[in-house]
Structure 1
Amino acid sequence: MPTEAELAIADEVGSQLIRLVRLMERKQAQYQAEHPDAVERATYHLLVHLVKDGPRRAGALAEAVHSDPSTISRQIGHLVRLGLVERTADPEDGRATLLAATAEGKRVFEENRRVRNERIAGMLEHWSEEDRRALGDLLARFTTDFESYKARAVHPEST
């Protein structure tokens, strides 16, 4: 059972995470309003996986992003129409289809990544290098623990 001090820290972390998520959602909504043809964040997330992880079947992509295959199908259709993703025959099973980022999809991903990195660097420019590295390390650690927390709670013997 957590102590009062641990719960107080958790409350502060939770409050700051909620604040950050709300700010990010507001920024995304503003961007969508200013760019009506922009790809939705969830749909863009599929492109990110295809660029980073390479071609894969729709079912594997749905599993990777923890989404429903029918939702993935609709989102992939949108990315295909935009020319960011293409469907090709699976060389291991010609009846199956692989999804892959196109050259344009990779270009869009790289451009968005560059802009994101420049914005974050600008936000953190007044931080020391040590603090910037610590933030990256702690965020990675928190995200990893966040991802694995439910699995540990369900299967405590594996920890």
Structure 2
Amino acid sequence: MAPNSSAVRPKAELDLADQLSNELVRFMRLITKAKTQVAKQGPDGIERAAYAILFCLIHEGPQRTSKLAEFLHSEISTISRQSSSLVQHGLVERQSDPEDGRACLLAPTAEGLRVFDENRKQRNQWMAEVLGDWDQQDRETLRDLFERLNTGIENNFPPQSDTTGVSSAKGA
């Protein structure tokens, strides 16, 4: 069956999808709670969401604010406020855009890379503790399945709805 097909799925498949969806919602809530706990410990005064900008800049390279907003599915004003905080804390710097001197790019600083690396080490330590009683094969299987799930989501976003709840997908 083709991705994004509107064909009706068998009940057993839909029931399993419902159970998986419930577990994913539970997972997202637990991750949000864990991030909140970490944020409470952070003395730097930076919004937790601002670290998503730093992550993006480190993995995608220097970006304009508009590109970050698109990448992070956020408003430009929000990205601008959060990136200003990162600049003030010395984690991100503004650079002139080589393609358009009137514009600027945001890029991580050496301190931003250090802070990111420290946060990553802490996250990895926590995840290793969470999975500490799992055997190696189960950990690798989970990683592979998460990668497959993320790729499937990236390739099959649900159609957007307008404010009336009517699908705006072509042919819908």
TM score, norm. by length of structure 2: 0.81
In the TM superposition, what is the alpha-carbon distance from 1:112 to its structure 2 partner? Answer: 0.8
Aligned partner of 2:126 among 94, 105, 119 = 119
Aligned partner of 1:14 among 10, 13, 21 = 21
Give, as a single letter, the amino acid of the residue that structure 2 aligns with 1:96. Answer: A
Q: Aligned pair count?
A: 156
**Tell me, which stretches of 5 or more residues in structure 2 are unaligned?**
1-7, 161-168
- 2:98 is the counterpart of 1:91: yes
Distance in 2, matches of 1:155 and 1:141, equals 26
Q: Which is helix-richer, 1 or 2?
A: 1
Cα RMSD between the aligned structures?
Answer: 2.0
Aligned partner of 2:135 among 128, 131, 151 = 128
Look up the match of 2:116. Answer: 109
In the TM superposition, what is the alpha-carbon distance from 1:39 to its structure 2 partner? Answer: 2.8
Query: Relative to structure 1, is the Cα distance of residues 155 and 137 closer, same or farther in structure 2, using a 3 angstrom cutoff?
Result: farther
TM score, norm. by length of structure 1: 0.87
**Tell me, which stretches of 5 or more residues in structure 1 are unaligned?**
none
Look up the match of 1:45. Answer: 52
- 2:150 is the counterpart of 1:143: yes
Q: Secondary structure at the match of 1:97?
A: strand
- Cα displacement string for residues 56-80 of structure 1 (whole angstroms, at most 9, x for unaligned residues): 2111221221222111111111111
Q: Secondary structure at the match of 2:49?
A: helix
In the TM superposition, what is the alpha-carbon distance from 1:149 to its structure 2 partner? Answer: 1.6
Q: Secondary structure at the match of 2:111?
A: helix
Look up the match of 2:36. Answer: 29
Distance in 2, matches of 1:43 and 1:6, equals 38
% identical aligned pairs? 46
- Cα displacement string for residues 101-145 of structure 1 (whole angstroms, at most 9, x for unaligned residues): 000000011111111111111221221211111100110111111
Distance in 1, matches of 2:88 and 2:68, equals 18
> Equivalences for 1:52-91 in 2 at 5 Å?
52-91=59-98
